[in-house]
Amino acid sequence: MTELSRIWRETEYRYNLIGFKCNNCGRSYFPPRDICPYCHRESIGKMEKVKFSGNGEILSYTTVHDAPPAFKRQVPYTLALVKLDEGPVITAQIVDCDPDEVNTGKKVHMVFRKIREDGTNGVIEYGYKFRLN
């Protein structure tokens, strides 16, 4: 069972697609990180939370047939690397379409969805997925 606190502390980022921007070099990051790998100590105290637009394009994709129990009901699902307009590349599902419609280069936007469920009695976890534009 996943403890509530573990999910709760990430909800801000997962619900709203909030990442970090290094105000030393201007690069954006997702997932959130405290230190910029280019600026090192110069970035300390200069990493600022930013809400991304949720727009991006598909860099690569796959249809997952073999998944852990928390995703059993979703199989087969499409997982993709989505390059956000702001730069970061994130791993997320593509939903509400036929797998055949998915292709590299297609534009997508973020939607808020149920991600996984922890058995029948556990917590239901939410976050971002993407839809084709």
Partner 1 sequence: MLNNVYIIGAGETKFGELWDKSLRNLAVEAGLKAIENAGVYSKDIDAIYGANGLAGTINEQENIGALIADFSGLSNEGIPALRVEASTASGAAAVREAYLSIKSGEYDLVVVGGVEKMTDIHGSSILEKMSSILDREWEAFFGATPAAMAALIARKYMNDFNVEKEALSMFSVNDHLNASKNPDAQYRNKLTLEQAMGATPIADPLNMMDCSPISDGAAAIVLASENFVKKNKKEGVKILSSAVAEDYLSVGSRESIYTLNSAKLAAEKAFKKAGIKRDDISFLEVHDSFSIYGLLELEDLGFAEKGKAKNMVYDDIKLNGRLPVNPSGGLKAKGDPYGAVGIGQVVDAYKQLMEKAGEGQIKNARYALLHNMAGTGASSIVHILGE
Residues that bind partner 1 (CB under 8 A): 10, 30-31, 37, 59-72, 74, 77, 79-81, 88-93, 104, 115-116, 125, 127-129
Nearer to partner 1, 31 or 45 (CB): 31
Task: Identify which of residues 47 and 92 has a Cβ nearer to partner 1 in the complex.
Answer: 92
Q: Which residues contact 6 (CB under 8 A, 6 or more apart)?
A: none
CB of 25 to partner 1, least distance (A): 15
Report d(CA 1, CA 119) in Å as an integer: 8
Comparison of 41 and 128: residue with beta carbon closer to partner 1: 128
Residues 6+ apart with CB under 8 A from 74: 67, 93
Taking the complex as a whole, the smallest distance from the CB of residue 7 to partner 1 amounts, in Å, to: 9
Minimal distance, residue 42 CB to partner 1, in Å: 19
Pairing status of strand 89-95 against strand 124-132:
parallel
- The C-alpha atoms of residue 88 and residue 69 are separated, in whole angstroms, by 29
Q: For residue 24, which amino acid is it?
A: N
CB-nearer residue toward partner 1: 44 or 59: 59
Q: Would you state the structure tokens that stand for residue 4, as one six-digit string?
A: 């509530």
